[in-house]
Structure 1
């Protein structure tokens, strides 16, 4: 049986929960939203979001837009995605109207691309990825999802390898015997940069020293794909 609760209902409840957690009243929250550039999120708007407004069709809750979700998250000092997927405070959250709710962390992984959604099922007690063809070339829905979600694995890995190479470079500057390790770390970084290039993804700016060494050692498929910039 599918739930009548919507994602908007979850967001509204979490806005109220975190507002009260912080000891903020609705005027306080409206003022914070105004500070963030949304003076139109007034006290009255917050009331309608949290509790709904009685009209001809009964009580109707005003939905929160994607733009507003970011504002509310920052105003409430809460990661915006937690307003939609409250880890640790709810057993399940709604997914799509045609499917059953899931636990928040499962949907969190869908939202971030870490896992493939499993709306079909349960079959033999298991939920399974959608294997139906989605394109004229015969590609399945699950395969198409995997292609779209590919950047999710690359960007965190790039950040890790960039930091590792940066630290190895500092060690090599103090100890020449560490130069081999530094080159190895640069090679690992280059693998990710080259993977991103092959996938036509924008490579974030790299520290100039790393960018220069990657080019000098001819580790890049296309040296023009990277832009050097100082470490933030």
Structure 2
């Protein structure tokens, strides 16, 4: 049995919940939205979003929340915008699409961030299954096409993890090399550790380049070291950070 609740209903309830959590009235929220450049999200608009207004046949009709609204309202409420749609920990299920059953919020969260492939069909024998339909004349299955589109969502977080590891390793190497009484063995070890982490970052940059993705800027010294040690398949894929 599919739910009649919509994602818009969830967002409206969460806007009110977080507004009350912060001790804000609707005028306060409207003022904060105006500060963020959206004076059109007025008191009356917030009332319409949260409670709806009278429509035909006695039904309450909500003002829809657009993607632009969601971003502004999330920041105005000091809440990650995606949590307004997928309230982790406060709801057991959230709606997905009208033709499918609700799912738990974290499952849908993973769909939204590309961490998991949606499973809208089912449950079959208690299991949900991925969509294996072919898309038009492309020959791709829906799940394979999803995986291709979602690939950047896994590459960028891993890039940040590897960049952070290089940052720490580089700092240790610089500190060891600059100590007044140098421990040559320690300096060599820290330098080798830096190069190992840098090489892991270079491997990942190659993966991102093959996927046609833009590589975030990196410290010039890292780029010089990667190029000097021939770590990159395409050295021109990386650009140094701009000087402040």
Q: TM-score, normalised by structure 2?
A: 0.92
- 1:221 and 2:233 matched: yes
Post-superposition offset of 1:179: 1.8
Deviations for 1:160-215, whole angstroms, at most 9, x for unmatched residues? 11111121122222123322221111110001100000000111111222122112
- The residue that corresponds to 2:33 in the other structure is 33
**Deviation larger for 41-50 or 130-139:** 130-139
Greater Rg over alpha carbons, structure:
2
Post-superposition offset of 1:230: 6.3
Structure 1 contact 30–46 (Cα < 8 Å) conserved: yes
- The residue that corresponds to 1:138 in the other structure is 139
SS in 2 for 1:200: coil
Aligned residues: 232
- The residue that corresponds to 2:49 in the other structure is 49
Post-superposition offset of 1:150: 0.5
Cα separation, 1, equivalents of 2:151 and 2:243 = 25
Aligned residue runs from structure 1 range 32-181, under 5 A: 32-57=32-57, 58-173=59-174, 174=176, 175-181=187-193
Change (3 A) 1:231 1:83: farther
Cα separation, 1, equivalents of 2:43 and 2:222 = 50
Change (3 A) 1:75 1:65: same
Structure 1 contact 92–101 (Cα < 8 Å) conserved: yes
Deviations for 1:24-45, whole angstroms, at most 9, x for unmatched residues? 0000000000000000000000
**Deviation larger for 148-157 or 23-32:** 148-157
**Deviation larger for 201-210 or 87-96:** 201-210
Deviations for 1:146-170, whole angstroms, at most 9, x for unmatched residues? 0111111111111111111121122
Cα separation, 2, equivalents of 1:125 and 1:56 = 40
Which segments of 5 or more consecutive residues in structure 2 lack a partner in the other structure? Answer: 177-186
- 1:207 and 2:228 matched: no
**Deviation larger for 180-189 or 134-143:** 134-143
Structure 1 contact 205–226 (Cα < 8 Å) conserved: yes
Cα separation, 1, equivalents of 2:102 and 2:196 = 46
- The residue that corresponds to 1:192 in the other structure is 204
Which segments of 5 or more consecutive residues in structure 1 lack a partner in the other structure? Answer: none
Cα separation, 2, equivalents of 1:75 and 1:48 = 17
